[in-house]
Structure 1
């Protein structure tokens, strides 16, 4: 695809955005800032209430605090997703093994990188994973690659930086425009430290890097900073969704709703703090007749009332008094906060993480039936997200092999858990024993034994697993087969001095000799 040099066309292209970009950008920015938290978050998300003065609002803003429920829900999903080890084949090619050991330019391995991908996709709903190589034209042979430490690396891009994307008729990505930031920091003494925006266009056969500068009377000018050949033969990126979906540009995230509920909790907590402050430091109300401006007594009264005094006509002989908010208002806010916190965890299917009656303390007193339903919801969410991560990582394997000029493996090398139950290996053996006692059907026992194999050997080689599955097809053996096998064994040998061979049986069993003695 040829790139035009017409300035007007280039400027229109770089300033054009996907139709869903501007509608989604405020939401992406909000959920990211709510997850990250920090003091700057309060300035943009704590709202002034009616009749609140500038000083009161600034003081309340400085005292604002929150428990980051948004981060808590995302981290809980992360904990459950990666509680069990991801199964990666031991038969993977060397190129894949090297990539798994160093998946990013900063040195993160594949586990660490996929944790970041999982976290970011939960926040934004959809992120984009890119792959690239540090191979240059000077690197030709395998020895050159080893000496230059050539490899393929991956990185993710937030949706705010995916400005536009086009799709071919078959659904593949035809091109993508990415916004990048660059800081002038090469030289510690002469560098300006300025941050500039650059725009990278990826196509299946090439890439181009642009920026926009101010050129005096000419106004804005688009420059092509660099370009190169895309040796992969396709756009080297793909989207990763929080859960599997069909939308081409956006996808629902884990905290789409709960982040706004979290903001409401922070605002109610700030209002509660204001009530507590007013309750502790009550306001003085006194007759206006008792205040004489210009006298020391007037200044003393101002200090006594913490510089806020309500005055009224005291001609009837009323005396000064302190007033404070109604305590029932604080109780109402506390009740609402607890209900909202319950909804935060309920929207992500983790109501079991909080109690049903007092969601502000963390004591789980919900019933066993409620916990079972909560688990089914969480298990469905986690299984869907695990499928999305599994697809992404296997897609990475394909791209890495293609960067090396080789075909992808015929079988998928990565397998994420299908279920996220809490049964341990000991529980599986207990279940197997109970199934044997009740004489469960052989098919049931075989399927349960596969669960034992999965937990006992989570990273089993493919050929060895096939051998185990083949052996399980003839397990457990029928009682008729066991009897035939026992009858085919040679008779038990016995000592010549012992005239009763049955006394050679196992310890604890009654032999014919001991039986005769007992009868006698």
Structure 2
């Protein structure tokens, strides 16, 4: 690594000002996606557009009246709700103590791992890709680890994680095997240590992570407003790799970006907000019609002149009233509002159909209802949604297991390539519960389904009965499924009986039962058989 302590200012400034190839193109897009999710009144000032022939006053008033239902946030939050509604399996039986403690307090603000991963999932849906960093404040002792758990508690040392969004990942580099070699991250800090003496100013910091070290640079203003880049801190990276995990909304090979869940939805949402604002203008003009009157009736200086200006919206159209026309109020064509409403409904439907969420919307939402959809259409919507959730869950599964691996390295645990994953996210998000699985098992038995089918179905029952079982117990249950389902006794008998007299099974002999009398036989015949049996017995 270069010696930053002796590097000149020109090199340091060039380093912190450099950006990765896709950064400048994607930064406005990332900022727009974030703004659409967050919403707020400031959003309207930046995203409500002026239409043709609109004056400054009318446009300013329309922006103040603007409103929206945040479909962008609704889609992101619904996906998060579905992902974390299912059981996420974290194997606490096989997890080391350091990992268990990390799961209980995964961030510096003491969020649990479940709460932290919800934030990771949400932000990856917004930006497409985020970076989860794992860091520690453990002091190095001997082999580079805290000596004992008591020392760790005494010193307040811990392993924690945090999220860095794409606008703050300034530059990064990969090696020949596409593994992260280094990464430059922007951080914001504030001078607020002393409530009396601190300035409260917010300033920028730049943290460079490499595989062996980390460096913290700060941009400071010196004499004559001259900006200087100074190395304010540095330390050793004991892991031998950059301690961060790339988390994509859906897996991507692009080294700099991944497609976001709302990459298109946010722009559709903005269009809906603008059409709603236009509709509001139409309603205003329809409700408060404009006055049209002969110009001959508006004479400045007369007493009625000022009163006329107070009518309606204080906007008056004038025309030549030489032929005796009378004043009247005019309004826009109400059909225009119908056209705007149709477009709004179609765009909103498209937003939710894109991710298979048409069933989430009610009749009041789209004004036309969803009950007219066919069963096939609803099934395709479910499959689209299920595929989206399964793909996102797979990405989160890989990310959390990678985070656990970094935690193990920080806490001194040995990490092997063939280690069993401690975290498992669902593979499918069907709506079948445990009792539904039992019903399916019963029906498979009735139709004499193949044993392989019934074994696979029983695995799903086991997963829903004990989602957090230890790996050793799961292996034992998996082994027991090899002899399941048991063979019925009539099949065993049919396979072993040979000849009319039967065959011996150990010391047990299976004999054919004597033929019973047929239905409809005469009473005399039956009585005769009974008498014959009685004589024989005698």
Larger radius of gyration: 2
SS of the counterpart of 2:184? strand
User: Once the 2 structures are TM-superposed, how far is the Cα of residue 134 of structure 1 from its aligned partner?
Assistant: 1.3
Contact 1:100 1:109 in 2 (8 A): yes
Q: CA deviation at 1:307?
A: 1.2
Task: Check 1:272–1:342 CA distance in 2 against 1; reply closer, same or farther (3 A cut).
Answer: same
The answer for the alignment partner of 2:482 in structure 1 is: 473
- Is 1:3 the equivalent of 2:3? yes
User: What is the CA-CA distance between 1:363 and the residue it aligns to?
Assistant: 4.5
**Residue 370 of structure 1: aligned partner:** 377
Spell out the pairing of 1:36-55 with structure 2 (5 A cutoff).
36-55=38-57
Q: 1:392 aligns with which of 377, 387, 399?
A: 399
The answer to whether structure 1 residue 119 and structure 2 residue 122 are counterparts is yes
Task: Provide the secondary structure at the position in 1 that maps to 2:366.
Answer: coil
> Match of 1:241?
248
Tell me whether 1:423 sits opposite 2:432 in the alignment. Answer: yes
Contact 1:265 1:341 in 2 (8 A): yes
Q: Gaps (5+ residues) in structure 2?
A: 497-503, 510-529, 531-538
1:100-111 to 2 correspondences below 5 Å = 100-111=103-114
2:228 aligns with 221
Distance 1:473 1:140, change over 3 A: closer
Residue correspondence of structure 1 range 262-411 to structure 2 within 5 A: 262-354=269-361, 359-360=366-367, 363-408=370-415, 410-411=419-420
Q: Deviations over 1:305-342 (max 9, x none)?
A: 33110001111111100011110000000000001111
Deviation for aligned residue 1:37: 0.6
1:442 to 421, 431, 451: 451
Conserved 8 A contact 1:353-1:364:
no
The 3 A distance-change label for structure 1 pair 362 and 172 is farther
Q: Distance in 2 between matches of 1:424 and 1:406?
A: 38
Quick one: distance in 1 between partners of 2:250 and 2:128? 8
Contact persistence 1:397–1:408 (CA under 8 A) = no
Matched position secondary structure for 1:104: coil
Q: Distance in 2 between matches of 1:199 and 1:175?
A: 13
SS in 1 for 2:120: helix
Q: CA 1:186/1:365 → structure 2, altered by over 3 Å: closer, same or farther?
A: farther
Paired position in structure 1 for 2:132: 129
- Deviation by residue 1:413-453 (Cα, 9 ceiling, x = unmatched): 11110011111111111111111111111111111111111
Structure 1 residue corresponding to 2:151, chosen from 144, 153, 159: 144
Q: Does 1:61 align with 2:63?
A: yes
Query: Over residues 133-186 of structure 1, what are the superposed CA-to-partner deviations in whole Å (9 max), with x where a residue is unaligned?
Result: 011247842031132232210001010000000111121111110000001111
How far apart in 2 are the matches of 1:444 and 1:7? Answer: 69
Distance in 1 (alpha carbons) for counterparts of 2:155 and 2:70: 45
Cα 1:372–1:98 shift into 2, 3 Å: same
Confirm or deny: 8 A CA contact 1:18 1:163 kept in the other structure: yes
Q: Does 1:253 align with 2:255?
A: no
Q: 2:256, 2:367 → 1: CA distance?
A: 37
Equivalent residues of 1:210, 1:225 under 8 A apart: yes
Cα shift readout 1:275-317 (whole Å, capped 9, x = no counterpart): 1111111110000001111112000111123311000111111
| Structure 1 gap ranges (5+) | 492-515
Matched, 1:194 2:201: yes
Which 10-residue stretch deviates more, 174-183 or 340-349?
Answer: 340-349
Equivalence for 2:79: 77
* 2:421 aligned partner: 412
Structure-1-length-normalised TM-score = 0.91
Aligned residues of 2:102 and 2:160 also touching (Cα < 8 A): yes
Hey, which bits of structure 1, 4+ residues long, moved more than 6 A? 355-358, 484-491
